Structure 1
Amino acid sequence: MIDSFSIHIIGLGLMGGSLAMALRGKGQRLTAEDINPAVLHQATASGVIDGIGEAHDADIVVLAVPADIIPDQLPTLDLKPGTLVIDLGSTKTRICNALDDLPEGVLAVGGHPMCGLAENGYANATGKLYQGARFVLCETDRTTSEARTRAEALVQACGAEPLWMERERHDHLTALASHLPHLLSFALMSLAMEEAAQDAALFELAAGGFDGATRLARTDAAMIVGMFGTNADELRAVTESLRDHLDRLEQLLDDLPRLYDELDVIVAARRSYTAQYGERLIT
C-alpha cells in the first residue's frame, strides 16, 4: 500500500498526468511540478493533485519527462535519504545507468509503463490509462528490497501489473515491440506526404489501414526524439532486420504461391498473438 507515502510527480503530461489521476486519493499527499504553470493550476483546481511541491519533501519521486532529459535531470534533484526515485522513460539502459549514480541512501528503480496514447499532454490524460498495463521495472544499484516493495505498490495502485526485467533486455525487446512501430509510422506518413503533394486524392482514399499504420505519427516529436535517441543502437539493428523481411516479401511478389504460404504463416502467428494477449484498443 502507498497510503503512508507522499508522492511527487515531475512532469504532468500524458503519462504523469494520467498517473496522478490514477493515484488520486491513494497517497498521503500527492504533489507535482511542471514547466507549464497552467497545467499545475488545472490539476490543483480539479483536485487531481494536492498542490505544487518539491522532490525533497516526497517519499516517492516519479520522473515523467522525455527519456533523453531524465539522465541529466537526476543529478539536479534534491532528495532526502530513503526516497524512492522511479522514472517512466521508454528506454532503460541509459536512465538506469544514471539512477545507479544517485547518492547512497536514495532508492531507485527504473520504470516503463507499457501504455500510452498517440496524443500527448495533460489535456489527454486519463486515470484509466494504466489499467491492466504491464509496467516494466528494472533494478539499479540503488534497488533494495524496500525499493522493490514500494515500486510494486505504486504500480499496483495505478492499476498496472509489475514486470521485472533487466535494463538491456528491455531496450532490446522494446526496440521491436515499441520503437520500430513508431519509426515505421513516421516513415509511412512521410512517404504519404510526398505522394499527396503530387496527388491530394491519396488522403481521400485512405481508410482504416492507413489510419492504423500511421497513428503513432501523431505523437509529440520531443517524446519520439527522446525515445529514439536513447536506444539508437538497438533501433538501428532491428530496422536492418526489418529491411531483410521487407526484401523477402518483395521478392515473393513474383511467386504468388510462395507468397501465400509465407503470409499464411504470418496470419496464423498474428491471430495466435491476439488469442493469447488480447487486442488493445487503438486510440
Structure 2
Amino acid sequence: MTTTTTDFARVARKLRGRPASDGAGVKLTRVIGSPELDMLDPFLMLDEFGTDQPDDYLAGFPSHPHRGFETVTYMLDGRMRHKDNHGNEGLLVPGSVQWMTAGRGVVHSEMPEQQEGRMRGFQLWVNLPARNKMDAPQYQEFAPDKIPVVQVGEGVSVKVIAGDVHTDKGEGVRGPIVQPATDPLYLDIALDANAQWLYTLPAGHSAFAYVFEGAATIGDGEDARALETHELAVLGGGDVFAVRGGNVGARLILVAGRPIHEPVARYGPFVMNTKQEIMQAFVDYQEGRF
C-alpha cells in the first residue's frame, strides 16, 4: 500500500511594504523593490496604491520612459488613462488589467481621469530575459468583463488574470494574459470567513501572496502563518498553496512566475543585464530612439 502526502508551500518570509511616492508625487506603498525585499526573480517591484484623498494621486505619472521589462497595472478602484509615444491610448477602469511589455523602449504616461473618489490598485514590474529585452513594445489590456471570475469552492471565488484555475465543477479556466517568457500566474482571490482553498502552484516558479483586505492563514498545520492586511508572504517549500480566510474573510493576490536567473542591472525605468546596456538606454532615450 502506497501513501502520498501533500507538499504544502510555506511562508518563507513575511513583510510589510514601505511608504513611497512615484511619478509626480503619487503616494503608494512599495512592497517589492524595497530594502526588505529588493526583488523576487522575475518580479522587480510591487506597488500598492490606495487612497480616498485626491491630492495623493491627482498629479499622476506624467510621461516617462521604460526599457527591458514589463509593467502590470491592476485597477481595483478609480480610472487611469494611459498614452504613449507610439500613439497607443486607453482607459483603465475598476477591475481592468494592463500588461505592458516595454521591450526596447516606450515613453508613456498614466494620469487619473477623476477629480475625487477612491483610487486603488497594484503595479507590478516583471523582468524580461535578455533575449526579449529589445522586443517591440506591446500591450495586453483587458476590460473587467474579459477577465473570468470563477467559483472554486464554497465561499471562494478567483479572478483569473493569468494562469490556470479549475472551478468547483472541475472545469479549467485560463486567464487572458499570456507571456511565454515567464509563464505568469496572477490571481485575485476572495474568501469568505474561514473558507479554505488549495491550489497547485506552477513547478519551479517564484511565488508570493499579498493580502489587501481582511486577514488569511497560509500553509498547513504547524507551518501555517497568519497574514494581516497589507502583508506579503514569499512562498517556499512545496507546491500546494493552502489558504483560509480569517474571521472577516480575506482578499489577496497570488502571483507566480518562472525565474530568469540572469544578471540584473537597473537604474530607474531601465532594467537590463549590464551597466553598459543601461548607459546605452540613456543614450537611446535622449536621442529619441524609443
TM-score (norm 2): 0.24
Q: Which has the higher helix share?
A: 1
Considering only CA atoms, is the larger Rg found in Structure 1 or Structure 2? Answer: 1
Q: Which has the higher strand share?
A: 2
